[in-house]
């Protein structure tokens, strides 16, 4: 089911009626792709904003040797490649493939600029999307510096806990798997190992650190 326009991050804090009015003043396109379709090819010019309003797509990068590497899944509502639309090298860095049947609102670069001119809130939302994405990628690079998944999780838990030993996880296992660059089941197994070793106790998303010293030691593995 297609989501409401007000649920799209680009239109956060903008009334539905105002969104309709803003969109009526620009040129845009609605497009649907069947499951398995190539939405965007790696290396294509990034000259349009793709707002995913229904379904799920995945990003895959093709290496020079032709090997396909899955980068991430993206589920509606989602704005694709926001950081590349106004970049010096405006190309899509990955293939975008429809995992399910998907629907997009497609807005050309110049029309996006017109939206910014018409609505300061939309401009702020766009900047927030880019900033959040940059922060996520920065965190992801940091976690890739650890050699083992247990070390990544140990560091994450210490960072999230701060000075406390009890806290609630804000991210799901799917989100953590994306952050750590591993499959979701691997995250679940690693949490289970840490629990069996007596370092943590976790129930749903509530975490209790039982042995902070050993958890810190894991960060050095």
Q: Residue 140 domain-assigned?
A: no
Digit-coded pLDDT (tens) for 46-59: 999 999 999 999 88
Domain range holding 101?
Answer: 5-134
pLDDT tens digits, 158-191? 888 888 888 898 888 887 887 777 888 898 899 9
The answer on 123 and 21 residing in a single domain is: yes
Q: What is the CATH number for 175?
A: 1.10.10.10
**152 and 129 in a common domain:** no
- Is the model more confident about 122 or about 217? 122
* CA dist., res. 135 & res. 153, Å (int): 18
Q: Supply the pLDDT for residue 136.
A: 73
Q: Do 69 and 117 share a structural domain?
A: yes
CB atoms within 10 A of CB 12: 15
- Separation between Cα atoms, residue 127 and residue 113, nearest integer Å: 13
Amino acid 55: pLDDT: 94
Task: List all residues 6 or more positions away from 46 whose beta carbon is below 8 Å from its beta carbon.
Answer: 81, 84, 85, 87, 90, 91, 92
Strand duo 166-168 + 200-203: pairing: unpaired
The 3-state secondary structure of 143-212 reads HHCCCCHHHHHHHHHHHHHCCCCEEECCCCHHHHHHHHCCCHHHHHHHHHHHHHCCCEEEECCEEEECCH
**How many folded domains does the chain comprise?**
2
Is 55 a domain residue?
yes
For a pLDDT cut of 90, what percent of the chain falls above it? 47
- Asked if the structure places residue 102 within a domain, the reply is yes
């Amino acid at each position: 089911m297609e989501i409401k326009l007000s649920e799209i991050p680009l239109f956060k804090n903008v009334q539905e009626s105002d969104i309709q009015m803003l969109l009526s003043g620009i040129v845009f396109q609605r497009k649907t792709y069947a499951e398995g379709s190539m939405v965007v090819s790696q290396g294509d010019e990034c000259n349009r904003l793709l707002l995913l309003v229904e379904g799920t797509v995945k990003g895959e990068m093709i290496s020079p040797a032709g090997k396909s590497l899955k980068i991430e899944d993206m589920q509606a509502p989602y704005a694709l490649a926001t950081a590349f639309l106004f970049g010096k090298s405006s190309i899509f860095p990955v293939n975008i493939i429809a995992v399910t049947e998907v629907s997009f609102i497609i807005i050309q670069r110049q029309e996006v600029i017109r939206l910014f001119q018409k609505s300061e809130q939309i401009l702020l939302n766009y900047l927030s999307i880019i900033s959040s994405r940059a922060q996520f990628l920065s965190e992801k690079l940091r976690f890739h510096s650890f050699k083992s998944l247990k070390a990544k999780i140990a560091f994450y838990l210490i960072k999230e806990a701060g000075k406390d030993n009890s806290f609630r996880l804000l991210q799901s296992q799917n989100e953590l798997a994306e952050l750590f660059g591993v499959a979701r089941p691997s995250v679940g197994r690693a949490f289970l190992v840490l629990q069996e070793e007596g370092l943590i106790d976790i129930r749903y998303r509530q975490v209790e650190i039982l042995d902070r010293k050993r958890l810190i030691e894991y960060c050095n593995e």
